[in-house]
């Protein structure tokens, strides 16, 4: 198979990979922040707040990411009357999508913590919010770190969909190379290898972190 095009187009892949990593990183960060908020809303005793969070999760999980991307990309600027950078709209779309899945992960993590932890914190005089912030949520994050890592890996792969609205990520650059070289397969293979390298490396890194955390627990 001929990969001679790489000598001319390697910078395309470098630039596209940088955009993919940038979009995925901030998508996860924003998704986690929103996910924590939505998870706490779903655990709220207020039926309206809980209903809103549940509806959001079901709506996002029940519709394709592609549809959500189109709605954010074409609808958000018209809704607020502002012009946004394409990458900003891409981050917004993947963040809103990721938040729903992260919220369920965090909710399950919080509910996995023994209720005695909260009772002990409240008996020491801690308000509910402070107990959640300093006692419950840190323990929950420790338990759900593997699941959050998997969500990051999934998001890196799913971020390829932003290429359909012209965001210059790795997949967009690969398609550009295909069009310029009239080679339908080899440029995609290079992109696949880059995606695999990123996700495999991240998976190994998360596995190492998880093993260290387990080792720390066993030494206590």
Per-residue pLDDT, 218? 56
Per-residue pLDDT, 219? 54
CA angle (217 as vertex; 211, 218 as ends), nearest 5? 90
Whether 97 contacts 105, CB under 8 Å: no
**What global pTM score does this model have?**
0.85
**Residue the block writes with tokens 């420790």:** 142
Per-residue pLDDT, 174? 95
Whether 109 contacts 141, CB under 8 Å: yes
Q: Name the token pair of 215.
A: 């080792």
Domain count along the chain: 1
Per-residue pLDDT, 129? 80
The alpha carbon torsion through 174, 91, 62, 79 (nearest 10 deg) reads -120
- 77 within some domain: yes
Per-residue pLDDT, 216? 61
Which structural domain, as residue segments, surrounds residue 115?
6-219
Per-residue pLDDT, 220? 53
- 1 within some domain: no
How far apart (Å, rounded) are the C-alpha atoms in residues 81 and 84? Answer: 10
Mean pLDDT, the chain cut into blocks of 10 residues (220 residues total): 89 96 92 92 92 95 94 92 91 94 90 84 84 82 83 90 93 95 93 95 86 66
Per-residue pLDDT, 67? 95
- 10 within some domain: yes
Neighbours of 120 (CB within 10 A): 13
């Amino acid at each position: 198979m001929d990969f001679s095009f790489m000598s001319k187009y390697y910078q395309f892949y470098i630039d596209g990979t940088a955009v993919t990593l940038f979009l995925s990183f901030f998508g996860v960060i924003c998704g986690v922040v929103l996910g924590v908020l939505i998870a706490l809303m779903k655990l709220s005793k207020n039926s309206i707040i809980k209903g809103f969070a549940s509806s959001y999760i079901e709506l996002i999980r029940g519709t394709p990411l592609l549809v959500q991307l189109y709605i954010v990309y074409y609808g958000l600027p018209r809704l607020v009357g502002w012009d946004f950078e394409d990458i900003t709209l891409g981050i917004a779309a993947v963040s809103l999508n990721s938040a729903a899945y992260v919220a369920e992960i965090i909710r399950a993590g919080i509910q996995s913590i023994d209720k005695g932890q909260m009772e002990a914190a409240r008996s020491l005089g801690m308000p509910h919010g402070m107990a959640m912030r300093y006692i419950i949520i840190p323990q929950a994050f420790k338990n759900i770190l593997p699941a959050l890592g998997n969500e990051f890996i999934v998001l890196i792969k799913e971020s390829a969909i932003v290429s359909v609205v012209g965001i210059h990520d790795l997949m967009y650059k690969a398609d550009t190379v295909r069009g310029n070289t009239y080679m339908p397969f080899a440029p995609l293979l290079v992109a696949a290898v880059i995606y695999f390298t990123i996700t495999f490396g991240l998976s190994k890194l998360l596995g190492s972190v998880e093993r260290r955390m387990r080792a720390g627990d066993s030494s206590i």
